[in-house]
Amino acid sequence: MHKSVYDIIRMKKDGKKISVVTSYDYTLASLCDKAGIDVLLVGDSAGMVMLGYENTIPVTMDQMCMFTEAVSRARKNALLVADLPFMSYQVSIEDAIKNSGKLIQAGADAVKLEGGIAMSETISAITDIGIPVMGHIGLQPQTTMLSEGYKVQGKTKDTAIKLIEDAKELEEAGAFSIVLEMVSHEVAQIISETVSIPTIGIGSGVGCNGQVLVVQDLLGMYEKIKPKFAKRYLNLSEEIVKSLENYKTEVESGIFPAQENWFSMDEDEFKKLREQIGS
């Protein structure tokens, strides 16, 4: 039986840190789940990491459902949360509910959406029909990036107070956890101590109740962007390229495939074949 929303909430109450990994495909999600990761997040960052977009804006509901389905087939133990992509929930509450339902049908246990107080009514409506919601404040790739660019949030008193108010409002609206992206660690600590639901940090310091990284970032597979908060536990991109170069060399030289890599006919059958075709 995989983890539930209540299991994740309980982890904060029990003082246990929560591990979250953003994953988009069956193969890597299987490995994340096997490693015991608590939450698999199907992020709209799939648009950049998997599809090569410049940002998350072009990602569609159909694409998010496809990635969610793949990860859902892989997980056995983790909670599965899926992002609502840009403009799938901002236009109307009806859209938000309908698209949240699509992600649940695709295999998610909960959905994630960006925004503070302005999204509280939407979160309430989604949770009212029984779909758990993970909030997301601080840097919001779908919107903050458009107006402010890539910058740390909560560095002044006024912006800090706004973030704290946003977090309280999301909890009141029914969110079961909140992602804090690139929030100053002081403010992230205050939020984590203020709300009773878990906070999941990304570039927001050790005071959060959990942490999230993109699996390709922590494995060193995604070269285009190397954010400060993404610790690399491996540098697989170099190893992968090296392996592919070795493969190319062996193909060109005839080393690969070797006998152990191919299949053979029964000797008697091969003899009959040669006799039949006169060779």
155 annotated as belonging to a binding site for a ligand: no
**Separation CA 32–CA 129 (nearest Å):** 30
**Separation CA 244–CA 257 (nearest Å):** 14
Q: How many Cα atoms occupy the beta-carbon half-sphere of 251 within 13 Å?
A: 6
Closest by Cα among 240, 235, 222 to 53: 222
Residues in Cβ contact with 121 at an 8 Å cutoff, skipping those fewer than 6 apart: 93, 173
95 annotated as belonging to a binding site for a ligand: no
Which of left, alpha, beta for 10 (phi over 0: left; psi -120 to 50: alpha)? Answer: alpha
> Which of 121, 172, 181, 250 is an active site residue?
181
252 annotated as belonging to a binding site for a ligand: no
Which amino acid, residue 268?
D
Q: What's the 3-state SS for 132-160?
A: CEEEEEECCCCCHHHHCCCCCECCCHHHH
- Are 42 and 68 a contacting pair, CB within 8 Å? yes
* 193 in active site: no
Classify 201 as helix, strand or coil. strand
**Separation CA 197–CA 199 (nearest Å):** 7
114 annotated as belonging to a binding site for a ligand: yes
Handedness of CA 60, 76, 22, 209 (dihedral sign): positive
83 annotated as belonging to a binding site for a ligand: yes
Annotated binding site for Mg(2+): 44, 83, 114
**Which residues does the annotation place in the binding site?**
44-45, 83, 112, 114
Catalytic site positions = 181
Q: Cite the annotated binding site for 3-methyl-2-oxobutanoate by residue number.
A: 44-45, 83, 112
